[in-house]
Amino acid sequence: MIILGIESSCDETAVAIIKGRTILSHKIFSQIDTHALYGGVVPEIAARAHAEKVDPLVAECLKEAKLKLKHIDVISAGQGPGLIGGVAVGLTYAKALAFALDKPFVAVNHLEAHALIPRIMDEIPFPHLVFLASGGHTQFVLINGIGDYKIIGTSLDDALGEAFDKTAKLLDLPYPGGPYVDNLAKKGRATIDLPRPLKGTPEPNFSFSGLKSAVRRIVKEKTQPYTKEDLCASFQEAVCDTVADRTKVVLKLVPQIHGLSFAGGVARNTALRATLKNICAENNVPFFVPDPALCVDNGVMIAWAGYERFRLGKTSSLDVAPYPRKNLEDVK
């Protein structure tokens, strides 16, 4: 079964073709340089870029995979959540393609695609937990099966990826800032005392606004001397301590699982990957994390989620509409 996946929820136009667990081609056009001028993603600019790039990227993927459109068995695309203009571009293109080729179409929830992508590398049995961390979401999700999701813990305010990016912005690091914070942290020492929000509380929820505010006070109000390297190391250590504590809590709440996976853009962070691996080892829980290239928004995750749904007979009609937000528990 050969699946074409199209992703356009934010600032990256991504297309991929997979055959089962084999990635035949994978292309991403990033708009980072364009949006960096504004310090964040400009929705209208992003949507225009998606409209310009999606068709050429499909052609490039077909060429790399040595296939023609007639060889594609199923077409899938992200339906949301995301920037509605960008989501609409990819979804409409994919539906038109499916209609013209008379191929099955599968609309995919963006968060579901992140949550399921670790299964492309390992056949993780159900039920299992996923720690989903990105610029917009920070959640522990129990996956009982495809379309059967339960949020066990979530952020009560800021997402973890947002906290990384805001910290980077305070330190005048390039956009997006998460990877730069990670790299500088390796060169510094965690000598600055920062809060560990909600650490020790019985529910596996998160809060990062207080940690972000503490960093802001140090940088803006000059409450104590610092180097960028040491502040990044201190911030990242506080994040890792918090995530470790929250993970221990959630593993006690849902002990009958077959593993814990780490997904979303923040899953590229080397310190967090190591932290979660250690916690899982201490609790005899298998740990899974995809290749860093599959943690960012990409077409492979859309194609894989499309494959997971299609093999269970879960296809979509061509009148489905894009949506800007949806709780993962509402994805059936």
Taking only the tens place, the pLDDT of each residue in 161-202 is 999 999 999 999 988 889 999 999 999 999 999 999 999 999
Percent of the chain predicted with pLDDT > 70? 99
Q: Check residue 10 and give its pLDDT.
A: 86
Residue 246 above 70 pLDDT?
A: yes
Q: Yes or no: say if 301 and 7 are a contact pair by the CB < 8 Å rule.
A: yes
Look up the pTM and report it: 0.94
Question: What is the spatial distance between Cα 235 and Cα 111, in angstroms, rounded to a whole number?
Answer: 26
Here the tokens at position 185 are: 């942290």
169 and 302 part of one domain: no
Pair 219, 326 in one domain: no
Quickly state the pLDDT bin for 310 (edges 50, 70, 90).
Answer: very high
pLDDT for the residue 42: 79
Residue 151 has pLDDT above 70, yes or no: yes
Instruction: Compute the distance between CA of residue 132 and CA of residue 244 in angstroms, rounded to an integer.
Output: 14
Domain that holds residue 71: 2-115+294-330
- Average pLDDT for 254-261: 95
Residue 15 binned pLDDT confidence (cut-offs 50, 70, 90) = very high
Average pLDDT, the chain: 95
Residues 157 and 208 in one domain: yes
Choose between 327 and 90: higher pLDDT.
90
Strand order in the sheet with 74-80: 22-30, 12-19, 2-7, 74-80, 105-109
pLDDT of residue 276: 98
Q: Residue 30 above 90 pLDDT?
A: no
Q: Please give the single-letter amino acid code of residue 221.
A: E
Asked whether residue 206 carries a pLDDT value surpassing 70, the answer given is: yes
Same domain membership, residue 158 and residue 28? no
- Say whether both 6 and 77 belong to one domain: yes
The whole-angstrom separation of Cα 199 and Cα 240 is 11
Q: State the CATH number of the domain containing residue 280.
A: 3.30.420.40
Rounded average pLDDT over 249-276 = 96
Identify the weakest region by mean pLDDT among 29-33, 77-81, 160-164, 309-313. Answer: 29-33
Residues 104 and 139 in one domain: no
Average pLDDT, stretch 51-78?
Answer: 97
Mean pLDDT of 38-59: 88
**Predicted confidence band of residue 35 (pLDDT cuts 50, 70, 90):** low
Quote the tokens at residue 243: 């995530």
Long-range interactions of 189-193: CB distance < 8 A, separation 24+: 189/229, 189/230, 189/233, 190/230, 190/233, 190/234, 190/236, 190/237, 191/230, 191/233, 191/234, 192/218, 192/224, 192/226, 192/230, 192/231, 192/234, 193/234
Please check whether residues 227 and 258 belong to one and the same domain.
yes
Same domain, 203 and 266: yes
Given this model, what pLDDT does residue 299 score? 98
- Asked whether 168 and 150 are in contact (CB, 8 A), the reply is no
Shared domain for 154 and 271, answered yes or no, is yes
Whole-number pLDDT of residue 32 = 73
Range list of β-strands (E), 134-281: 138-145, 148-154, 260-263
Number of domains within the chain = 2
The pLDDT of residue 122: 87
Asked if 136 contacts 161 with a C-beta cutoff of 8 angstroms, the reply is yes
- Domain match, 232 and 305 both: no
Q: Give per-residue pLDDT as tens, 102-132.
A: 999 999 999 999 999 999 998 999 999 999 9
57 Cβ neighbours under 8 A, 6+ residues apart = 13, 14, 15, 27, 29
Cα–Cα dist 287/129, whole Å = 10
Does residue 106 sit in the same domain as residue 251? Answer: no
Lowest mean pLDDT among 49-53, 64-68, 143-147: 49-53
Provide the pLDDT for residue 212: 94
Distance, in Å, from the CA atom of 174 to the CA atom of 98, rounded to the nearest integer, reads 39
Say yes or no: 192 and 261 in one domain.
yes
Record the tokens describing residue 232, joined without a space.
Answer: 């990044």
Query: How far is Cα 86 from Cα 103, in angstroms, rounded to an integer?
Result: 23
